[in-house]
Structure 1
Amino acid sequence: MCSVDNQVVYKNYHAFIPIKLEVEKLCQESRKNKPSQNTEHLSVLVLGMDAVSRLNFHRQMPKTESLLRKIHAIELFGYNKVADNTFPNLIPILSGLSEKELQHTCWPKLTSVFDRCNWIWKNFSAAGYRTAFGEDAAWMGLFSYVKRGFKEQPTDYYVRPFIKTAEDDIGHKTQLNAKLCIGSKMSVAVLLDYVSNFAITMSSKDTFAFFWGTSLTHDFLNYPSLGDDLHERFLNQLLHTGSLNHTVFIFMSDHGIRWGGIRETYQGRLEERLPFVFFVFPEWFKNLYPTAIANLHKNAHRLTTPFDIYETLLDILSFKQIEKESIRKRSTELDKGKSKPRQISLFLPVHKSRTCNEAGIDPHWCTCHKSKPLPLTDAKIKNMSLILVEHLNSLLKPYGVCSQLHLAEVKSATVEYPLEHLYEKTKDQGLKDYVLVVRTTPGDALFEATVRHHIGNSSVQVVGAVSRINTYGSQSSCVTDFHMKLYCYCKSYFRTRTKL
């Protein structure tokens, strides 16, 4: 901070990455107590951009995409999200569990902290790795948005105190949910500076680092373009300093944009479910484990999920698992199994006829089907739409502060069909799935849901979660349950608006 005549003329925050002696000692002890079978070790650096579909990444960030192609990054073309927003799509990567499984295992209440959960960085820490976790847009962080976060610092290097203090003090340029700038820099640039400094400082040490950028891309379809130069420069710096020589770099998103004009289109529905993922491995690793890398290349065109990334990260801890003979045995077991596991390491072959059900993807999020538009005047569609609104009201019933919703309009309706190569595994003449988009009042919310018709008994039910595909601002500020924020229109908000 600089002052002239008692007037502050400059203020900024800076983060440093010191070598922590106590952490180094613990890493050495872990290696002694649990000697690794790996002659070489591979660090892990995950960098995320919130809410960017694979196609939007190609549209908005051509320079970064071109550089990734130049260094032979492996892109996943069939990576499908498994749930609605960031939290339930990153939890599987970090724990191997779904959100419900996490609740049953270590997070029983919304007011519980996350310290008891077995996050994957604990596996790496036990193997002698230094660990790091960080994100910008601290107020809506992965573990802190309407949640209690951690009681103890979760990783060896933890960015939240720095980012939160800087954003609270000198953060500005708020548009919708995030502060786009911290001082004279974009918030995402501050995060990228920290990540690059961390990677360079730790380039000779074994690390597991998970960083997530939310501020720039969370709210606007076209804002990723503003980060193209930043990310290209960041990646070039890591390459030129040799910081990726012993590191797998995973560059990814959690889902596509979840609201806005594009989200009301079929294209937008698909893109929301299909985020981008790239893997960059050092050459020595690709030469030592060609079978594993060959399988990853094949899996680039298979149906894959966050659960699979978790299994892949576990394999990195034990290279014995990805040696040629081990891959052969594991692949045979996988092929002969009567039931397919939900999560499969991407170093193993994922079958081309894998279904969403096998992969742990609810029908509402599945993209392995074709759609046929239906007339909105059909009485069956109107009836299903009313059942959808009844379902929403049943969810809201325990929350007395929320208004009852009413159907105002049916915006679109489609019937879903499995793709040809999946038909034999998914056909069931007794079921038919419909995707409906409706507008409700009060609040003019747009909801999208999958409604299943059981032909045998003519019953109809909503399957899985209901998507909110337009913004809701402070309409739901009266509830703290992050699921209900999508659906609730506060009675107090309604009274305030009617007085205006």
Structure 2
Amino acid sequence: MVLYCVYIELYYYSNYNTNRFFDPEENLNYYKNFSVDNNVLYLVYNNKCRIPNLDIYNPDVLPFMKKRKFRPCTDKGGQLTYIQTVGNQNTLIIDYTKRNYYAIYGKISCCYSVVHRRKHNDNSYLIDNCTHFEKTAVLNSTIQFLIVKCERVFRNGRKKIVYAKAHAIITTKHKIRKRLDSFKQNDTTQPISVLMIVFDSVSRLNFYRAMPKTANYILSKGWFPLRAFNKVGLNTYPNIMAMMTGYNISQVQVKCNNRNPKRLDKCPLILYKYRGNGYVTAYGEDDSSINSFSYAGPGFLVKPTDYYIHQSLNDVSLQDSQTKLMFNNLENSGLFNKSIVIFMSDHGMRFGGYRKTYSGWLEDRLPFIFIWLPDWFRKKFPTAVKNLKLNENRLTTAFDLHLTLQDILKKSGRLKEATPSLACPKCKSLFEEIPFERGCEDASIDFEWCTCNGFHSIDNNIFGIDGVAEILVKRIQKILSKSSETRKLCKKPSLKSVIDVRESQLSTATVKFYLVTIEIDPSGKFEGTIVKTFIKGKNSFELKGDVTRIDSYGTQSHCIHTKYYKPYCYCKEKL
């Protein structure tokens, strides 16, 4: 029984407003390989929630659509080295059938360096000196990561690096085998393995646009989509932690603050619950420099899973055909027969030209998610399957997914009772029916991330909009005034222009909600929700939630070090 989570920083289609790596020969025809049924106007429609069902070729997305060309990490010759495992013995092997792709003439000289995670530090590692080897190298059983480098050696003695590859090695550990065996003795039902594959920053609609081959494969195989899966926080961390803990970001900061490694290690992650109930656990990300748990802090003191992998997932391509091939390989390996697979994203794109459109606003909050259930599971738990099907067009969140992961443990006979979500007491496992009349308050989605409001365009001059926009500017000014560093180094912002104003269709005669997008001077585009309340003949305005930056700030805030302030700061020295 395995719980394996893979988190991939997906730069493929990460920024619509740049042409870098785009193929100018391609056009919209690429995307027409996939179509979505748009016969219904809403994904969710009830008295509390109305989420519009946008066309994937909505007019405001068309100017930003171009196909990006896949560029493999290695030469067309493929991988020069690989790991062969027999029993518990790992051997590093040079594939000499690929040799000529790297050096037609001259000698190939290869060496490997073992990579060690520094004790009590997620952000630091040691690399041993490079050990030369010929053809094969029998590896020590304790090695988990290594880097291979190969040089072409010319006749005059000159050397040139022609190949570099990182290998992650999964070896069965004695204590893990002992744990598996001890739980297996008491099993009365078939345990269910879980594989989670998470792509960063991909909305449901952009998944269909950018990856039509993968989408067609998934839907043709009978996966379950959740079309109204709403994010619960700004970026990766709050959304991943909601799934891992059932906490919202305020609770996470108190109970699991990732700037305090001792506290993060004691955080009740679902990973610990699986390991404590006889599972082998693994977690991997493809870029340790922006690791979900250590991006803004030191991360874990002790590895949170049995296998904790970084920068070793370079075989999982970010290109459509390669991702489809990955799923084909997983299916052919038999993994789909014994595992529930959850393929998802944490949120949509948060920056770029497209993000400034209404479709971009909506897509940022509606990431894609698909769930695969093995055939035997469908037969054994028909009610769970029926409910999951019903929930495809119900408002759902990562809090529900957290409870689903616990429910899998219950259905595996390993957990008696699930722990309710602290952030969302009303949330349920996705194997239970989610209420039809469900709104953001019921699902514990803060107003600023809620897609239930159905905003539509209005005239920017319908009321004193500049005065209302100043509420957003004052909020940014207040944030920058909290730190002596930002007061000293950052330019005080002012309103440059009002870009867009939209009103919620759930507004009433006395309470109206407006989505306001502004540009500030010297630089930055932000959005926020303003609530207009009419009481006793007077209008009052207040900011609901917080302001969110929707364009990239790059190096504008390089003069400060606290990540929280970076979206708001423009360094005075750059003026």
Q: Shorter chain as normaliser: what TM range?
A: 0.7 to 0.9
Give the equivalent residue in structure 1 for 2:425. Answer: 341
Distance 2:262 2:464 in 1: 43
Cα gap change, 1:447 to 1:159, in 2 (>3 Å): same
Give the equivalent residue in structure 2 for 1:461. Answer: 542
One-letter code aligned to 1:366:
C
5 Å-filtered alignment, 1:30-429, equals 35-36=186-187, 38-107=188-257, 114-160=264-310, 163=311, 189-191=314-316, 227-319=319-411, 341-399=425-483, 400=487, 401-418=489-506
Distance 1:480 1:370 in 2: 37
Hey, which bits of structure 1, 4+ residues long, moved more than 6 A? none
Kindly state the Cα deviation for residue 369 of structure 1 after the two structures are TM-superposed.
2.3
One-letter code aligned to 1:20:
K
Task: Compare CA radii of gyration and give the structure with the larger one.
Answer: 2
Deviations 1:41-90 (A, max 9, x none): 11110001111111111111111111111210000111111111111111
Is contact 1:73-1:280 (8 Å) kept? yes
SS of the aligned residue for 2:441 comes to helix
| Structure 2 residue 525 is the aligned partner of structure 1 residue 446 | yes
Give structure 1 stretches of 5+ with no counterpart.
167-187, 193-215, 217-226, 335-339, 419-426
Give the equivalent residue in structure 1 for 2:514. Answer: 434
SS of the aligned residue for 1:407 comes to strand
Distance 1:487 1:446 in 2: 10
One-letter code aligned to 1:448:
E
SS of the aligned residue for 1:244 comes to helix
Give the equivalent residue in structure 1 for 2:119. Answer: none
Distance 1:9 1:241 in 2: 32
Write 1 or 2 for the structure with the bigger share of strand: 2
Give the count of matched residue pairs. 412
Q: 2:553 aligns with which of 472, 483, 491?
A: 472
One-letter code aligned to 1:272:
D
Is contact 2:340-2:371 (8 Å) kept? yes
Deviations 1:397-448 (A, max 9, x none): 1122322110000000111123xxxxxxxx7654321100000012x20001
Distance 1:286 1:40 in 2: 13
Kindly state the Cα deviation for residue 393 of structure 1 after the two structures are TM-superposed.
0.9
One-letter code aligned to 1:41:
P
Is contact 1:146-1:480 (8 Å) kept? no
Kindly state the Cα deviation for residue 256 of structure 1 after the two structures are TM-superposed.
1.1
Kindly state the Cα deviation for residue 466 of structure 1 after the two structures are TM-superposed.
1.8
Give the equivalent residue in structure 1 for 2:90. Answer: none
One-letter code aligned to 1:479:
I
Kindly state the Cα deviation for residue 9 of structure 1 after the two structures are TM-superposed.
3.3
One-letter code aligned to 1:301:
N
One-letter code aligned to 2:354:
I
One-letter code aligned to 1:307:
F
One-letter code aligned to 2:343:
F
Provide the identity percentage: 35
Is contact 2:557-2:566 (8 Å) kept? yes
Distance 1:368 1:115 in 2: 36
Distance 2:520 2:457 in 1: 21
Deviations 1:229-263 (A, max 9, x none): 11100000010110121100000011111111111
Distance 2:315 2:166 in 1: 9
Cα gap change, 1:70 to 1:189, in 2 (>3 Å): farther
Is contact 1:113-1:148 (8 Å) kept? no
One-letter code aligned to 1:406:
S
Distance 1:433 1:126 in 2: 46
One-letter code aligned to 1:159:
I
Kindly state the Cα deviation for residue 108 of structure 1 after the two structures are TM-superposed.
7.9
Deviations 1:146-193 (A, max 9, x none): 221111111101112xx1xx7xxxxxxxxxxxxxxxxxxxxx64356x
Distance 2:324 2:562 in 1: 38
SS of the aligned residue for 2:166 comes to coil
Cα gap change, 1:459 to 1:248, in 2 (>3 Å): same
Kindly state the Cα deviation for residue 112 of structure 1 after the two structures are TM-superposed.
6.2
Is contact 1:370-1:416 (8 Å) kept? yes
Distance 1:320 1:247 in 2: 11
Give the equivalent residue in structure 1 for 2:114. Answer: none
Is contact 1:80-1:273 (8 Å) kept? yes
Distance 1:474 1:376 in 2: 32
SS of the aligned residue for 1:125 comes to helix
Distance 2:231 2:178 in 1: 39
Kindly state the Cα deviation for residue 321 of structure 1 after the two structures are TM-superposed.
9.1
Kindly state the Cα deviation for residue 29 of structure 1 after the two structures are TM-superposed.
4.0
Cα gap change, 1:417 to 1:321, in 2 (>3 Å): farther
Cα gap change, 1:255 to 1:429, in 2 (>3 Å): same
Distance 2:316 2:262 in 1: 28
Is contact 1:252-1:276 (8 Å) kept? yes
Is contact 2:475-2:547 (8 Å) kept? no
Cα gap change, 1:282 to 1:320, in 2 (>3 Å): closer
SS of the aligned residue for 2:545 comes to strand
Give the equivalent residue in structure 2 for 1:489. Answer: 570
Distance 2:211 2:559 in 1: 38
Give structure 2 stretches of 5+ with no counterpart.
1-148
Kindly state the Cα deviation for residue 27 of structure 1 after the two structures are TM-superposed.
3.3
One-letter code aligned to 1:26:
R
Q: What RMSD in Å do the two structures reach over aligned CA positions?
A: 2.6
SS of the aligned residue for 1:450 comes to strand
Distance 1:100 1:190 in 2: 36
Kindly state the Cα deviation for residue 137 of structure 1 after the two structures are TM-superposed.
2.1
Cα gap change, 1:109 to 1:14, in 2 (>3 Å): closer
One-letter code aligned to 2:341:
F
Give the equivalent residue in structure 2 for 1:423. Answer: none
Write 1 or 2 for the structure with the bigger share of helix: 1
SS of the aligned residue for 1:410 comes to strand
One-letter code aligned to 2:519:
R
Cα gap change, 1:478 to 1:110, in 2 (>3 Å): farther
Cα gap change, 1:18 to 1:191, in 2 (>3 Å): farther
One-letter code aligned to 1:469:
I
Give the equivalent residue in structure 1 for 2:8. Answer: none
